[in-house]
């Protein structure tokens, strides 16, 4: 592949996550775009194309109203929890193919308070499944970690330590929603939401927007920008015999193969590096159990090794593989369309060495991001300096 078709991230922008009353999801996305353009030092008129994602906050392409009617190409992406990852995948393809030199991936959302209320018809499921009270994502995450803890001897204390780390990291991330530390005992002894998880172990649907300016390596050079390289961006759907959100049944012996394993393997192959060469990772932590299971599903450790990894602090900021350095979904909340791009935003901040209180020491050179969601989709990116 020629140097000209390599893809770089040259600008990043974010609207703080959490709750911003009076500001629409779309305007949070537009805010992020303006910030990303300013960061890259380019103008809206320089943007040749955009892929925009939102699950519940309107059609992303309508933001041209706010940003300027340049006639540019703007394609909307709606792909569940992989929406941001899919927007980024599509954007990098548009550059890699040689069609365009500079464009945007943008994602935003604004969800009502409380758990997501998905409807069975949206997931090809019978109406009774929803009437029974099974269209509840927390049930899946709880049942999945319950099985995992049973098989691999993971203790409930680990769930508490993961949440404690998330809130500790979030303190230092200006874009995070929860920015106060929470004591381990408080986390472990809080009211149960869906056993074995207490309320501090789940992320909440929220609001936010993220934009990334992408360019060909040649274009980045012309602009005089020191870019972050996008070595891989992959998105995969579920394999046979997986255990996914909203599953009325699972194949016997199933629950091992996942969309995440497929997306991770494809990303490592494309990037030409292995998990041991990654300096930091953002792993989908819809709840504290997901981070633990995703450490193994993404290839960073063997099933069951997490107990030791976490006890030794290997996933903390100063550890061998810092995970969710901005507090992840637990501290930032989950605006679906923006969530996957937030991870990439955070990775760029870290690779630029601008993480301040949450900066990974030792000038990290590679960074990994991973999202997972219903009905069994996953997206992965690998960045390097």
Partner 1 sequence: MPDAPLHLMGGRHRQTGRVTFPYPGDGPGAEFDPVALPTRGTVWSYTIQRFRPKTPPYAGPEAFEPWALAYVELPGAVIVEARLVGVDLDAIRIGMAVELTRVALDPAAQDPFWLPAFCPEAAQ
Helix (H, G, I), strand (E, B), or coil: what is residue 177? coil
Nearer residue to partner 1 within complex by CB, 136 or 266: 136
Please state, in angstroms and rounded to a whole number, the distance separating the CA atoms of residues 5 and 311. 43
String of contacts with partner 1 for each residue 73-112, x by CB under 8 A: ----------------------------------------
Please state, in angstroms and rounded to a whole number, the distance separating the CA atoms of residues 110 and 88. 20
Binders of partner 1: how many residues, by CB under 8 A? 37
Residue 248 lies near partner 1 (rule: CB under 8 A): yes
Whether residue 219 contacts residue 359, with contact meaning beta carbons closer than 8 Å, is answered with no
Residue 362 lies near partner 1 (rule: CB under 8 A): no
The minimum distance between CB 337 and partner 1, in angstroms, equals: 20
Q: Given the rule CB under 8 A, which of 118-126, 325-333, 341-349, 371-379 is the region that contacts partner 1? A: 118-126
The residues, ordered by sequence, that sit 6+ positions from 279 with a Cβ below 8 Å of its Cβ are 321, 322, 360, 362, 364, 365, 366, 367
Residue 130 lies near partner 1 (rule: CB under 8 A): yes
Residue 139 lies near partner 1 (rule: CB under 8 A): yes
Residue 249 lies near partner 1 (rule: CB under 8 A): yes
Residue 113 lies near partner 1 (rule: CB under 8 A): no
String of contacts with partner 1 for each residue 254-293, x by CB under 8 A: x---------------------------------------
E strands, 73-218, in order:
73-77, 102-110, 192-194, 197-198, 207-216
Residue 184 lies near partner 1 (rule: CB under 8 A): no
Residue 143 lies near partner 1 (rule: CB under 8 A): yes
The residues, ordered by sequence, that sit 6+ positions from 58 with a Cβ below 8 Å of its Cβ are 24, 25, 26
Pick the binder of partner 1 from 99, 185, 222, 251 (CB under 8 A). Answer: 251
State the DSSP H helix or E strand holding residue 366, giving kind and residue range, or none if neither: strand 366-373
Place of tokens 């450490």: 295
The minimum distance between CB 310 and partner 1, in angstroms, equals: 21
Please state, in angstroms and rounded to a whole number, the distance separating the CA atoms of residues 356 and 349. 9
String of contacts with partner 1 for each residue 204-233, x by CB under 8 A: ------------------------------
Nearer residue to partner 1 within complex by CB, 336 or 382: 336
The minimum distance between CB 233 and partner 1, in angstroms, equals: 32
Residue 115 lies near partner 1 (rule: CB under 8 A): yes
Whether residue 196 contacts residue 156, with contact meaning beta carbons closer than 8 Å, is answered with yes
Whether residue 92 contacts residue 230, with contact meaning beta carbons closer than 8 Å, is answered with yes
Whether residue 6 contacts residue 184, with contact meaning beta carbons closer than 8 Å, is answered with no
The minimum distance between CB 275 and partner 1, in angstroms, equals: 27
Residue 2 lies near partner 1 (rule: CB under 8 A): no
Residue 340: closest CA among 66, 12, 84, 36: 84
Q: Given the rule CB under 8 A, which of 66-74, 139-147, 223-231, 271-279 is the region that contacts partner 1? A: 139-147
Residue 174 lies near partner 1 (rule: CB under 8 A): no
Please state, in angstroms and rounded to a whole number, the distance separating the CA atoms of residues 232 and 158. 31
Nearer residue to partner 1 within complex by CB, 147 or 157: 147
Q: Given the rule CB under 8 A, which of 138-146, 166-174, 219-227, 295-303 is the region that contacts partner 1? A: 138-146
State the DSSP H helix or E strand holding residue 32, giving kind and residue range, or none if neither: helix 25-40
Q: What angle do CA 307, 378, 323 make, to 5 degrees?
A: 35
Residues in contact with partner 1 by the rule CB under 8 A: 114-115, 117, 119-120, 126-128, 130-136, 138-139, 142-144, 146-147, 150, 191-196, 240, 247-252, 254
């Amino acid at each position: 592949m020629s140097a000209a078709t390599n893809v770089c991230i040259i600008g990043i922008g974010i609207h703080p996550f959490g709750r911003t009353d009076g500001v629409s999801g779309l305007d949070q996305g537009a805010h992020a775009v303006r910030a990303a353009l300013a960061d890259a030092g380019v103008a809206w008129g320089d943007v040749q194309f955009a892929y925009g994602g939102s699950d519940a906050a309107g059609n992303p392409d309508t933001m041209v109203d706010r940003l300027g009617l340049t006639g540019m190409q703007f394609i909307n992406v709606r792909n569940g929890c992989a929406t941001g990852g899919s927007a980024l995948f599509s954007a990098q393809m548009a550059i890699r193919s040689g069609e365009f030199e500079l464009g945007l991936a943008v994602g935003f959302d604004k969800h009502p308070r409380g758990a997501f209320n998905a409807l069975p018809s949206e997931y090809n499921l019978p109406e009774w499944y929803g009437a029974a009270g099974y269209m509840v994502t927390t049930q899946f995450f709880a049942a999945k970690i319950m099985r995992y803890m049973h098989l691999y001897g993971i203790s409930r204390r680990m769930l508490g330590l993961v949440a404690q780390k998330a809130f500790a990291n979030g303190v230092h991330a200006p874009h995070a929603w929860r920015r106060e530390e929470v004591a381990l005992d408080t986390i472990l002894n809080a009211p149960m939401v869906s056993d074995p998880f207490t309320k501090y172990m789940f992320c909440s649907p929220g609001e936010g927007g993220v934009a990334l300016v992408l360019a060909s390596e040649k274009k980045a050079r012309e602009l005089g920008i020191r870019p972050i390289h996008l070595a891989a961006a992959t998105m995969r759907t579920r394999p046979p015999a997986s255990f996914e959100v909203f599953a009325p049944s699972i194949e016997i012996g199933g629950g091992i193969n996942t969309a995440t394993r497929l997306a991770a393997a494809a990303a490592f192959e494309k990037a030409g590096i292995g998990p041991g060469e990654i300096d930091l990772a953002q792993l989908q932590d819809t709840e504290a159990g997901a981070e633990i299971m995703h450490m193994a599903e993404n290839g960073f450790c063997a099933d069951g090794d997490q107990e030791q990894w976490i006890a030794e602090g290997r996933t903390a900021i100063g550890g061998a593989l810092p995970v969710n350095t901005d507090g992840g979904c637990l501290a930032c909340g989950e605006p679906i369309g923006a969530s996957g791009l937030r991870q990439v935003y955070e990775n760029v901040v870290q690779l630029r060495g601008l993480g301040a209180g949450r900066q990974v020491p030792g000038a990290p050179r590679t960074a990994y991001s991973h999202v997972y969601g219903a009905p069994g989709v996953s997206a992965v990116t690998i960045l390097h300096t």
